[in-house]
Homo-oligomer: A and B are copies of this chain.
Amino acid sequence: MKKHNFYAGPSILPDVVIEETAKALHNFAGTGISLASISHRSKEFDKVMIDAQDLFKELLNVPEGYSVLFLGGGASLQFAMVPFNLMNKKAVYTNTGTWASNAIKEAKLFGEVVEIKAKDYFSLPKGFDVPSDADYFHFTSNNTIFGTQYKQDFDLNMPVVADMSSDIFSRRIDVSKYDIIYGGAQKNLAPSGVAFVLIKNDILGKVDRKIPTMLNYQTHINKGSMFNTPPVVPIFAAYQTMLWIKANGGVAGMEKIVAEKAELLYNEIDRNSLFVGTVAKEDRSSMNICFVMKEEYKEFEAEFASYASERGMLGIKGHRSVGGFRASTYNALPLESVKALVSCMQDFENLKK
C-alpha cells in the first residue's frame, strides 16, 4: 500500500534526496568511500558545504553581508543562542505556540522579555506595537503544533529574528528585513541533526557577556561553519533538497504548489460536514493543517484515525496539546497525498451519512 507521509517532523523529503544520500553512503563523490566515513576537511565535503551555503543564499535571494551556518543541536539550541548573542536588556517575542513559548523561556534567562500574544494559540497577534528600546524582535513564522502562520515579513527598526523551522523555502521572503533566520532542518530541508542559521554579519559583538565558544555565532561565521565537525550526512541531504527546490521552480515554485495543496485540503475541511478547522481562517498555515471532528461527531474521531491509517495516511494525529488531526504538507509532500487524504475524508463522510 502507498504510504502518505504527513509527519510534522522529521518529515517527508523528496525521493531524489533519499536516493542521492543513500548512494553517497556507498560512494561519496567518486572517492570510493562513504559519506559517513570521509573527513569533513576533505576537498569533496568542503565543496558540499560551500555549495550548500551558496545555494541557500541563491534560493532566498540573500543580499550581501549574511552568513549561512549549519549547526548541531536543533532549533532548541538556537532558542538559547539568540539571547546569548543578542540580548543586553530587553527583547520582544511573539508568543504564538509551544515553540515560541520555549524560545521565550530561554530568553528570560538573559533579560526582560516583552511577550506579544493573541487571546489563544488559534490566531496570531497582529497590529501590535513593538517597544523601540528592545534589542531585537523574535517571532516564529509558522507554528507547527497549532497550525498558524505569518505569511508576511515584519518591517521594524530593530533586529528581527525568525524561527522558520517549519516553513523555510516554502514561500518567498525579503531577507533584508531579517537579521537572523534559523530553524531545525528536519521539517522542510533535511533529516534531523542540523539547524540552519542565516545571520547578518554585523549584528554581533554588542553584548558584554562571555559566550561559550560553540554558542558564539562569531565562532561559526569565522570558520565557515566548520569550527568543529559538522553533521556531514544531514548537510549533504540538505544540499540535495535545495538542488531539488531549484530544479522545481525555486522558492516561488514551492510557494505555488504549497498554496495549491493547502487550498485543496482547507476547502475539504470547510466543505465536509464532519470536520472543522481549528485556526482563524486568515492565520491558517500552509504547512501544518489542523482540524477536528465537529462537536456533534466527536465520537467518530478515533474511528477516522484508524480508517485513515488503514488507507496509508501516516502521522495525521494532532499534537497532544491540540487533539484531532494535523496534516503536515511540507514542500516534498506530493499533491497526490493531499488528494488521497481528501478522498479519505469524503469517503468517511459518505460512510457516516
Contact = CB atoms under 8 A, between A and B. Distances in A.
A192 B33 contact: no
B106 A212 contact: yes
A224 B196 CA distance: 25
A7 B37 contact: yes
Contacts of A31: 3
A10 B232 contact: yes
A11 interface: yes
Interface in A18-43: 18, 21-22, 25-26, 31-40, 42
Given A25-B18, A212-B80, A213-B80, A229 B186 contact: yes
B192 A231 contact: yes
Interface stretch (A70-78, A150-158, A269-277): A70-78
A49 to B, nearest CB: 12
A79 interface: yes
A31 B106 CA distance: 36
Q: How many copies does the complex hold?
A: 2
Nearest to A106: B212
B9 A229 contact: yes
Contacts of A229: 9-10, 74, 184, 186, 192
B25 A38 contact: no
Interface residues of A, number: 64
Contacts of A191: 35-37, 231-233
A250 interface: no
Contacts of A80: 212-215
B18 A37 contact: yes
B25 A37 contact: no
A97 interface: no
A80 B72 CA distance: 14
A231 B184 CA distance: 11
B8 A18 contact: no
Interface in A32-82: 32-40, 42, 71-77, 79-80
A72 B213 contact: no
Interface of A: 1, 3, 5, 7-13, 17-18, 21-22, 25-26, 31-40, 42, 71-77, 79-80, 84, 102, 105-106, 109, 184, 186, 190-194, 210, 212-215, 227-234, 237, 314-315
